[in-house]
Structure 1
Amino acid sequence: MDPVVFLFALLQGLIQYPPPVADGLDEETHWRMEARAKYLEWERLRLEQEVEQLSQKKMPHLQLLAVAVLLALEVGNVAGNEDDNDGNDVVNGAALAEKNNDNDVANVVQEEDNNVDDCVGQDIMERIQWPAQDLQRVCEWITDLMDNYTIYFEHVLSYSFYPVLHRPIGVGSAFEGWSPREQDVVYRVLIPMTPPRGHSFHLELDSEGQRHVRNFRVRVQLECTCTRQQQGENMLCFLHNPKEELRSNQDPSLLDTLCTDSYLDVQKTACWFQQLVKAIWPALPQSHNWHLTLLPSTRSCQFKVTNGEESFRIEMLFGVRRGDSAIFVSSQPREAYTLSTTWPESYAVAEAEFFKYIARQAPPDSLHLKCLQFFSRLVLGFSFSTYTMKTIVMHLLVAMPASSWSRGHLRERLMDIRDSLHICLRQKCLQHFIVGNRRFPQDINLPPDVRMGRTYNLFHHLAQQLAAHTQARRDYRVLHKTFKRIALGEVN
């Protein structure tokens, strides 16, 4: 007889003629036995098909015998349980256990998995070093300081022809809730500027700049104020009054103070602003307990305030808003050397608004800032910038539900960030998060050319420079090993 046919006959006999069960079974047990018989019939049909397929494929007899033995043992175990002297109790007990405990077992397993993930997340979270300073507390103190400065800006500049300074906006990592460094934190604010009376600002895109960045120039234009003069306002029209009269009776226009060739000059504006900040400082209430020291800067106003116990470094940038959007042209440069009349397009305010948006959507235990803090510190000393890691995290924040950033998912999210960096390196491509990103929250207002424009690759230099890409891949291998050691608790 063909071995395949013999094995099939053996299996068929075991299924069709199981060992007899004890007499005197109750109605529920008979019902369960009938259900079991239907199940075994279905198994018989399935086995027929499998044996036929095995026979056609000429499966070795030993493998087929192993399949037969396993199936026979399964059927024998079922029959043996039903033939037990206490068959009723066994069957009924199994039924109750299956009916009542399946959900409990699933819940217990899920709870144990959650506990394990929580423990791993807690362990990793404790290894993520946070800045020694309380970021939120210091940011609130900085905000109060800036509000006091704003009051005096308005008072001092109300009748001048210098830019009108508005309430500063906190930007950068510290105001977003994280920082790449433990103690050397820079608190940045951006001060919106609007033109003084008799002037207007016109933003002109600099087409001569690099293809991957957008630079602007702020053209200053004089506007007619004859109507104001006729209404008795103490101001002469720069366009229609004689120059001699203007020179004798009115302060110079903005074109004659902070501009170069009709364009607002960043360096001249920074120098004027530094003098203004220093002159106003003694009038502020903070000056009673704090000491201010101006720091060298050509495109912003940087200073340090100390009180003997704490020291904060503050950078005051200034910029012109594009319409009513969250995009500015800012004094902060992108390259090592930027022309004094060049104002790069800044997305700092839009990014700060994005983190506020995420904070409103995320659960209280969200650890997305912890993840960003971890990698921003991990990449220090490597060829990856903290802005690279920030961009990757922002992309992941819009790609994943807010609930997936809780402590139980911390390990997975850290691995997602690591793997995203690896993929970007292999593809030599990391898309800008705001420009051309259709998934950017609609609640944050962007100019149409920014929201719908063509995005650009932050890793374009890796595609153009083989040496830079090779170094980045080396750095990633070292970073990957360091990541594993930290995750395993080998290093802090």
Structure 2
Amino acid sequence: MQGGIFQVCFFVTAAILNRPFLFPKENATIPERDEEIITRMKEHEKAYEMERARLEQEAAKMNQAEEKPVVEEFNQSWDFWSAVSLVIFLMIEIWRQDFQDGNNQDSSSEEEDYLSFGNVAKKMILPDKGVLASFHDSCIGVSGTDFWRMREFVESFADDLLEALRSTCNRDADMEVEDCIGIGSMYENWKVGKPVLCDLIVPFTPPEPYRFTFEHWCSPGNDVPPTWQGCGRIKIVNANEDKLDCLCGRTNLGEDMLCLLHSKAEKVKTKNAMDGLLCSKNTTYLAKDQVMKWFQISITKAWNQISHKHKFDLTFHSLDSPGAIKVKFQSGKVIVFNITPVVQYEDTDAYLLSHFESSNNNLSDIYWPMTFAVYEKNLFKFFAKNLPSNSCHLSCLQIVAFLHKKQCSLTGKSGLTSYHLKTTLLHLLLSKMPSEWHSDQLQKRLRDILVFLEKSLQEKKLYHVLIGNHKVPKWLNIPMVFREAEPLNLLRPLLLKGDLYVKTVETFQEMLRNAPVLIQEYMPHFPNGIIHLQ
């Protein structure tokens, strides 16, 4: 018994003496600590063996005059206290490992904080407003003549193509396409760089008697996964069928019961109809892939009908975006535009997209991203009328988009998109007075955009400008369900991919550091070769 107590005391003492190794020095490397620990453990093991041998000798002397059962009792006691000592030692070692892992996690978190929080935008040196204005006009501005001529051609040709598409469709069985709608930077007047690209959306509806119903992330009792916030599902229902009036729609009648109104043959007919209406397999939900295949085939048929009237070639230039169309003239000139089928959300200007360029490209086939691009276009029109005639808001956005595009060409693709940049501008437009956007405020407002973006990346939050934002004017008529919804974080897809988020932050901070140099590099050369920096 005394020997067992001694063992426990021995290991507790060893743990206390080993305390510096349980909490290692900050500057020590892991291999060094491992070698030191192994050396100390060998010393403890040697001392332990010597003490055990001494105790065994004493026990042998004491037991010479006693019977054998006493010896067995002593051995059992020895085994018990040995086990207790081993458990204590293992607990100490596990504690040390947990402490070390915690330190590693803390250092990783500190590294991410250091990466994110640089406040580079506030410290960067921007050229003065004159240099910025000259840089914008010479390097970024798009010729007005080319701009309008491009839009006129694309819209006219898209109308002809859709009209031919309607003539090739079966009105009783196929989807019906409506007129195209222009969205994006081309129609918001801040398009940057060449080639000039138009984005068109084309709403479509199911043939009678079918109609669309919607389930989105804001719907009461929705089951949309958190990963797919900002998306919705489109269900196709037969407007002539009211299942609530029939018992078979509310109760499982079993195989022995037959509904005279809805026979098995009619159910099979309904299922086949749903398959023909581009639904996902064995569901009544509209499938994006099915819609895109149908649309591409329909566009091809329509072009075959009208190709003889035009002196150019038409091809699909991107497999990832089936609605991306390239027109090539005999002169070699190329015009590219996107035409994307969409579904209108009820009687509003919100639409569900069949294809969306984003970092979150792993959406289920039945979940459609929702776009408020028409509302955003109307908001830009409102600001164009209410801001000073020479407002700098579009110039700021164009400069940031240009710099980010050039930086990505140097360091690789970033998670930030032009939509993130546009969202930042709209947030600032809703927050500042119209007088603050005068042309002589170009440098200040440009810095505001960069600071806002950097802060958003630091806080890992950039909210959608129209969802859950009380600053949005009511005349815009955003559906109430979205006005009162929780704000939607546009950076969430980046945060789900840690490497992409880190790459995005690094690219953006590198852009901030390189901005003065990039502006100087792309500036036209003045006769005296001088560019003034504040």
What TM bracket, shorter-length normalisation?
0.5 to 0.7
Distance apart, 1:299 and its partner CA: 6.2
Q: Which moved more, 1:453-462 or 1:370-379?
A: 453-462
Are 1:268 and 2:290 counterparts?
yes
Are 1:374 and 2:374 counterparts?
no
AA at the equivalent of 1:267: D
Structure 1: how far apart are the matches of 2:323 and 2:498?
38
The structure 2 residue matched to 1:135, chosen from 147, 158, 167, is 147
Distance apart, 1:211 and its partner CA: 4.7
Q: Which moved more, 1:193-202 or 1:254-263?
A: 254-263
User: Counterpart of 2:463 in 1: which secondary structure?
Assistant: coil
Are 1:223 and 2:205 counterparts?
no
Are 1:202 and 2:213 counterparts?
yes
Could you say if the C-alpha distance between residues 360 and 149 of structure 1 is closer, same or farther in structure 2, counting changes exceeding 3 Å?
farther
Equivalent runs, 1:69-468 vs 2, <5 Å: 119-120=130-131, 122-126=133-137, 128-131=139-142, 134-157=146-169, 159-180=171-192, 182-205=193-216, 207-211=223-227, 213-224=229-240, 253=273, 255-260=275-280, 261-284=283-306, 287-297=309-319, 300-307=322-329, 308-333=331-356, 334=358, 335-380=360-405, 381=408, 383=414, 384-460=416-492
User: Counterpart of 2:478 in 1: which secondary structure?
Assistant: coil
TM-score, length-normalised on structure 1?
Answer: 0.64
Structure possessing the higher relative contact order (Cα contacts under 8 Å, 6 or more residues apart): 2
Distance apart, 1:158 and its partner CA: 6.6
Could you say if the C-alpha distance between residues 284 and 469 of structure 1 is closer, same or farther in structure 2, counting changes exceeding 3 Å?
closer
Contact 2:135 2:522 in 1 (8 A): no
Distance apart, 1:468 and its partner CA: 5.6
Distance apart, 1:470 and its partner CA: 5.1
Could you say if the C-alpha distance between residues 200 and 276 of structure 1 is closer, same or farther in structure 2, counting changes exceeding 3 Å?
same
- Deviations along 1:367-418, whole A, 9 cap, x unmatched? 3222211111211216333222111111112222334333222122111112
Distance apart, 1:128 and its partner CA: 4.1
Q: Which moved more, 1:382-391 or 1:413-422?
A: 382-391
Structure 2: how far apart are the matches of 1:466 and 1:192?
36
User: Counterpart of 1:379 in 2: which secondary structure?
Assistant: helix
Contact 2:165 2:301 in 1 (8 A): no
Distance apart, 1:210 and its partner CA: 2.9
Distance apart, 1:434 and its partner CA: 1.5
AA at the equivalent of 1:305: V
- Deviations along 1:189-208, whole A, 9 cap, x unmatched? 11112221111111123634
Structure 2: how far apart are the matches of 1:364 and 1:136?
20
Structure 1: how far apart are the matches of 2:277 and 2:461?
44
Structure 2 unpaired stretches of 5+:
1-126, 218-222, 242-260, 524-534
Q: How many residues align?
A: 359
Could you say if the C-alpha distance between residues 392 and 157 of structure 1 is closer, same or farther in structure 2, counting changes exceeding 3 Å?
same
Q: Which moved more, 1:268-277 or 1:148-157?
A: 148-157
Structure 2: how far apart are the matches of 1:254 and 1:467?
41
Could you say if the C-alpha distance between residues 397 and 220 of structure 1 is closer, same or farther in structure 2, counting changes exceeding 3 Å?
same
Could you say if the C-alpha distance between residues 289 and 428 of structure 1 is closer, same or farther in structure 2, counting changes exceeding 3 Å?
same
TM-score, length-normalised on structure 2?
Answer: 0.59
| Sequence identity percentage | 24
User: Counterpart of 2:378 in 1: which secondary structure?
Assistant: helix
User: Counterpart of 1:345 in 2: which secondary structure?
Assistant: strand
Contact 1:367 1:406 in 2 (8 A): yes
Could you say if the C-alpha distance between residues 432 and 242 of structure 1 is closer, same or farther in structure 2, counting changes exceeding 3 Å?
closer
Contact 2:316 2:322 in 1 (8 A): no
- Deviations along 1:22-70, whole A, 9 cap, x unmatched? xxxxxxxxxxxxxxxxxxxxxxxxxxxxxxxxxxxxxxxxxxxxxxxxx
Q: Which moved more, 1:425-434 or 1:455-464?
A: 455-464
User: Counterpart of 2:474 in 1: which secondary structure?
Assistant: coil
Structure 1 unpaired stretches of 5+:
1-115, 226-238
Structure 2: how far apart are the matches of 1:464 and 1:254?
35
Distance apart, 1:483 and its partner CA: 2.3
AA at the equivalent of 1:288: H
Distance apart, 1:148 and its partner CA: 2.2
- The aligned counterpart of 1:6 is none
